[in-house]
Amino acid sequence: MTQAKLFDQTLCTLGEGPFWHPERKSLIWFDIMEKYLLERRGDVSKVQKLKFDSYVSAAGWINQTQLLMATSEALVKLDLDTGRMNKLIDLESENILTRSNDGRADPHGGFWIGTMGIKMESELGAIYRFYKGELRKIFSNISIPNSICFSPCGTIGYFTDTVVGQILRVGLDSVGWPNSKPEVFVDCRSKDINPDGSVVDLDGCLWNAQWGSSRVARYSQNGELLNTIEVDAPQASCPAFGGDNFSTLFITSARDGMSTSQLIKAPMSGALFYAETQVIGQKEHRVILG
* Residue 204 included in any domain: yes
One pLDDT digit (tens) per residue for the chain, 290 residues = 799 999 999 999 999 999 999 999 999 999 999 999 999 987 667 899 999 999 999 999 999 999 999 999 999 999 999 999 999 999 999 999 999 999 999 999 999 999 999 999 999 999 999 999 999 999 999 999 999 999 999 999 999 999 999 999 999 999 999 999 999 999 999 899 999 999 999 999 999 999 999 999 999 999 999 999 999 999 999 999 999 999 999 999 999 999 999 999 999 999 999 999 999 999 999 999 98
Cα gap 60→47, rounded to integer Å: 19
* Residue 283 included in any domain: no
- The pLDDT of residue 69: 98
Q: List Cβ neighbours of 69 (8 Å cut-off, separation of 6 or more).
A: 37, 56, 58, 59, 75, 76, 77, 78, 85
| Catalytic residue set | 196
Whole-model pTM: value is: 0.97
Q: Which residue range(s) make up the domain with 10?
A: 2-276
CA–CA distance from 275 to each of 2, 4, 65, 240, 248 (Å)? 8, 5, 27, 11, 6
* Residue 128 included in any domain: yes
* Residue 81 included in any domain: yes
Q: List Cβ neighbours of 225 (8 Å cut-off, separation of 6 or more).
A: 217, 218, 219
CATH number of the domain to which 90 belongs: 2.120.10.30
* Residue 287 included in any domain: no
On whether the CB atoms of residues 84 and 66 are closer than 8 A, the answer is no
* Residue 126 included in any domain: yes
Cα gap 282→290, rounded to integer Å: 23
- The pLDDT of residue 70: 98
Number of domains within the chain:
1
* Residue 121 included in any domain: yes
Q: List Cβ neighbours of 94 (8 Å cut-off, separation of 6 or more).
A: none
> How many CB atoms are closer than 10 A to CB 264?
9
- The pLDDT of residue 106: 98
* Residue 289 included in any domain: no
User: CA angle at residue 270 from 15 to 45, to 5 degrees?
Assistant: 90
